[in-house]
Amino acid sequence: MTAVCYDYLHEFIDKLKPPSSPSKSALDIFKNIRSDMELPINDGPSAKYVEPTVKKYNDRILYHYNQWNMNKDNLAKTIEELFELSVYLYGGTHKSNQIEFDFFLLHLLTSMHAVRSIFPHIDNPQIMEGIIQQFFYFAIAVYIAQARPKINENLIHDYNIDEAKNNWIYVIDRTLNTKFIDDAHVVKVIRALRDAEKVYGDNKNGLYLKTAIKTVDNLHFDPMWIGGPNDKRQLNILERS
Q: How much is the pTM?
A: 0.95
For residue 113, give its domain range: 10-218
Considering the domain boundaries, does residue 47 fall inside one? yes
The answer to the question of residue 165 being in a domain is yes
Q: Is residue 185 part of a domain?
A: yes
Residue 200 lies in a domain: yes
Would you say residue 223 lies in a domain?
no
Intervals of the chain under pLDDT 50: none
Answer whether residue 227 is part of any domain: no
Q: CA-to-CA distance for 61 and 54, rounded, in angstroms?
A: 8
Q: Does 105 reside within a domain?
A: yes
Our count of domains for the chain comes to: 1
User: Is it true that the peptide bond before 223 is cis, omega within 30 degrees of 0?
Assistant: yes
pLDDT at position 201 = 81
With 0-12 / 13-18 / 19 or more C-beta atoms within 10 angstroms meaning exposed / middle / buried, residue 163 is exposed
Which pLDDT score, from 0 to 100, does residue 241 have? 57
pLDDT of residue 190: 98
Q: Is 177 within a domain?
A: yes
End-to-end C-alpha distance for the chain, whole angstroms: 41
